[in-house]
């Protein structure tokens, strides 16, 4: 059994705690939280600590906290030579204090507080300073997910940026669509199958192959109609910029 300690009580930490708790090959030894009560619904009280000096022995310590606090918290750990990883997409491995063996355990998914997730489908991006530690991380990762990748810091950086586009910005496109519907008394529900099918398509086609719409087919008339329809200047600017960019991409 791999012994794991999770440090943190946020969204990702809670999802990890849940999936580790269900695993038959992982022993979740302890969880650190500044506010012990936050995890009361997930972990027996005696397994939660708010004092670094009472941290127990484990094979892996997973720091799952806000990016900016990783250097400080990793320096506060009262031991050295252990395997300590963070779960961030945008923080370099080197930000972990070098008194311990360092690594990264980055689940690339969008986690909601109240929505369960099938962890088997969550891609886990692993990195370790020492080669031998990679095997430990891989064992841990494979016990909860079918989708495990060896990703170095530079690649992880690129994935994090790419994720902003495919998730945060795509969601913002949904948000603009939602507002347009609301302003015109149209139920947003009408667009939901389209949203799902658009995401579905790129599971098998490349996004460039899947691209449709007026900009893709250089349909100036329709684009002009759309711009005439839109009233918000900022939304018009977004429409124009993205359309031009798609048109350039056609070439």
Looking at 60, 108, 140, 141, which residue binds a second copy (CB under 8 A)? 108
Q: Are 106 and 82 in contact (CB under 8 A)?
A: no
Q: Could you tell me which stretch among 19-27, 54-62, 127-135, 215-223 binds a second copy (CB under 8 A)?
A: 215-223
Residue 5 to residue 26: CA distance in whole angstroms: 10
Q: Could you tell me which stretch among 19-27, 41-49, 129-137, 147-155 binds a second copy (CB under 8 A)?
A: 147-155
Going 15 to 16 to 20 to 21, the CA torsion angle's sign is negative
Looking at 80, 98, 218, 245, which residue binds a second copy (CB under 8 A)? 245
Looking at 44, 132, 165, 233, which residue binds a second copy (CB under 8 A)? 165
Residue 76 CB, nearest distance to a second copy (Å)? 21
Contacts of 104 (CB under 8 A, 6+ apart): 85, 86, 87, 88, 93, 125, 126, 127, 128, 151, 153, 156
If binding means CB under 8 A, how many residues of this protein chain bind a second copy? Answer: 92
Residue 251 to residue 249: CA distance in whole angstroms: 5
Looking at 167, 218, 220, 250, which residue binds a second copy (CB under 8 A)? 167
Q: Is 147 in the site for a second copy (CB under 8 A)?
A: yes
Looking at 35, 98, 249, 250, which residue binds a second copy (CB under 8 A)? 249
Residue 68 half-sphere exposure toward CB, CA atoms < 13 A: 0
Q: Are 136 and 59 in contact (CB under 8 A)?
A: yes
Q: Is 192 in the site for a second copy (CB under 8 A)?
A: yes
76: tokens are 């506060």
212: tokens are 């449709």
Q: Could you tell me which stretch among 16-24, 48-56, 132-140, 211-219 binds a second copy (CB under 8 A)?
A: 211-219
Q: Is 38 in the site for a second copy (CB under 8 A)?
A: no
Residues 110-129 within binding reach of a second copy (CB under 8 A): 110, 112, 115, 117, 121-123, 125
């Amino acid at each position: 059994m791999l012994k794991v300690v999770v440090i943190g009580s946020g969204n990702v930490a809670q999802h990890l705690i849940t999936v580790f708790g269900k695993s038959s090959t992982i022993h979740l030894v302890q969880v650190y939280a500044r506010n012990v009560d936050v995890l009361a619904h997930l972990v027996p009280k005696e397994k939660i600590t708010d004092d670094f000096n009472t941290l127990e022995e484990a094979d892996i310590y997973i720091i799952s906290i806000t990016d900016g606090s990783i250097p400080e918290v990793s320096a506060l750990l009262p031991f050295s030579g252990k395997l300590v990883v963070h779960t961030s997409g945008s923080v370099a491995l080197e930000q972990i204090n070098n008194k311990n063996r360092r690594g990264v355990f980055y689940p690339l998914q969008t986690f909601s507080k109240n929505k369960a997730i099938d962890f088997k489908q969550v891609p886990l991006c692993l990195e370790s300073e020492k080669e031998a530690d990679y095997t430990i991380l891989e064992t841990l990762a494979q016990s909860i997910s079918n989708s495990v990748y060896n990703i170095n810091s530079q690649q992880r950086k690129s994935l994090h940026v790419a994720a902003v586009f495919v998730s945060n910005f795509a969601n913002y496109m949904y948000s603009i669509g939602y507002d347009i519907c609301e302003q015109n008394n149209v139920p947003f529900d009408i667009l939901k199958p389209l949203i799902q099918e658009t995401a579905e398509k790129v599971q098998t086609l490349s996004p460039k192959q899947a691209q449709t719409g007026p900009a893709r087919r250089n349909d100036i008339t329709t684009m002009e109609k759309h711009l005439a329809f839109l009233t918000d200047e900022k939304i018009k600017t977004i429409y124009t910029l993205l359309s031009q960019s798609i048109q350039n991409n056609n070439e």
